[in-house]
Amino acid sequence: MKRRIHAYVEGRVQGVFFRDFARREAYPLSVKGWVRNMSDGRVEVVAEGEEENLKNFVESLKKGPPLAIVTDVEVEWEEYRGEFSDFRIKSYWD
């Protein structure tokens, strides 16, 4: 079953290649959506895909890349909307 997540990742997650890490983790799981840094130091992720693949993706977000220190990942599960064709890195202003 396809689902959607809206997640906020806290900790040392900016300036450590976290957004690129999320994009690379999403690709083999066929997860589509986006990731961006937030002005408060968190990283925001909106992603869609098969529920099991999203669960695996969230587990990757909880670990992060080698330089990251993830202290919390808040995940809201939502209805699938089918609005994404890829997974991309967004800027603050997108």
For 1-55, how does the pLDDT look when each residue is reduced to its tens digit (9 = 90+)?
999 999 999 999 999 999 999 999 999 999 999 999 999 999 999 999 999 999 9
- Return d(Cα 8, Cα 20) in angstroms, integer: 16
Catalytic residues, by residue number, are 19, 37
Residue 32: both structure tokens together: 């589509």
What are the C-alpha distances in Å from 62 to residues 10, 83, 84, 85? Answer: 9, 25, 23, 24
- Return d(Cα 57, Cα 23) in angstroms, integer: 10
Residue 52 CA, chain-centre distance (Å), reads: 15
Instruction: Quote the pLDDT of residue 87.
Output: 98
Instruction: Quote the pLDDT of residue 93.
Output: 74
Q: Which helix (H) or strand (E) holds 26?
A: helix 18-26
Question: What is the pLDDT confidence band of residue 91, given thresholds at 50, 70 and 90?
Answer: confident
At residue 68, does pLDDT exceed 80? yes
